[in-house]
Amino acid sequence: MTLELSHFSAAVLFSVFASVVFGVTQRNTTREQIRYGLYCFVLFAGGVFVAGWAMWVLRH
């Protein structure tokens, strides 16, 4: 069985799993963990968009 994800879906999945682990391990209380996990996810996903547009600008 082979899984062929698009670049974007692979990046989103990566962001979700990494953010969950960061949130759980880097903060103490449940509320802080959720907030930090979401913060990491936004940075990961936002980074993908910024990098994507940066490459588009360089290409054009």
Partner 1 sequence: MANSAKSTATETQKAPATPASPNMSVIAPAVAWLIPGAGHLIQKRWIRGLLLMASISTMFVLGLLMQGRVYHPNGGDILDILGFVGDVGAGGLYIVTRVQDWGHGAIAHATADYGTKFLIVAGLLNFISMADAYHIAIGKKP
Binding footprint of partner 1 on the chain (CB under 8 A): 1-7, 10, 13-14, 16-18, 20-22, 24-25, 28
Q: How far is the CB of 21 from partner 1 (least distance, A)?
A: 4
Distance CA 43, CA 36 (A): 10
Q: Cβ closer to partner 1: 17 or 49?
A: 17
CA distances from 8 to 14, 26, 33, 53 (A): 10, 26, 25, 13
In the numeric block, which tokens belong to residue 26? 């880097």
What is the smallest separation between the CB atom of 5 and partner 1, expressed in angstroms?
A: 6
